[in-house]
Amino acid sequence: MISPNYVLLYVDDPVASAAYYADLLGQQPVDVSPTFSLFALASGLMLGLWSRHTVEPKALASGGGAELCIRVDDRSVLNDMYADWSARGVAIAQRPVAMDFGYTFMAIDRDGHRLRVFVREGA
């Protein structure tokens, strides 16, 4: 069985994006360079931030075409994250709302990538 464990986001400035995600995730990257930064998340997922200017072959897509999703345990955790991220000035594309899969909100990172926080409900 194949089990993907890396997500790569193409960013303008991997150093600045690493600082952004370190603040948002509450943890430091394991590697930072001008062209690539890497987070080793507790879930086992590796989150790479690769310079869109140096990736080969050249990336044709920009942020917003997919979502990085963060599942939390309950609505109170989600509401606390929403309040915290909003207070930090994180761009919010969707306020907390109940949808068919659960309760969710959406933020947008500095490169236009969609960050969905959700609680699975009703399934």
CATH of the domain at 71: 3.30.720.110
pLDDT of residue 75 exceeding 90:
yes
Domain with 113 in it: 63-122
Instruction: Work out the average pLDDT over 53-69.
Output: 89
68 and 33 within one domain:
no
Q: How many domains does the chain have?
A: 2
Identify which of 84, 75, 82, 76 has the alpha carbon closest to the alpha carbon of residue 107.
82
pLDDT of residue 123 exceeding 80:
no
Instruction: Work out the average pLDDT over 24-36.
Output: 97
41 and 70 within one domain:
no
Confidence category of residue 10, pLDDT binned at 50, 70, 90: very high
pTM of the model: 0.90
Q: Within 10 A of 53 (CB to CB), how many other CB atoms are there? A: 14
68 and 49 within one domain:
no
Question: How confident is the model at residue 62, as a pLDDT?
Answer: 78
Q: What is the DSSP string of 32-59?
A: E-SSEEEEE-TTS-EEEEEETTT-SSPP
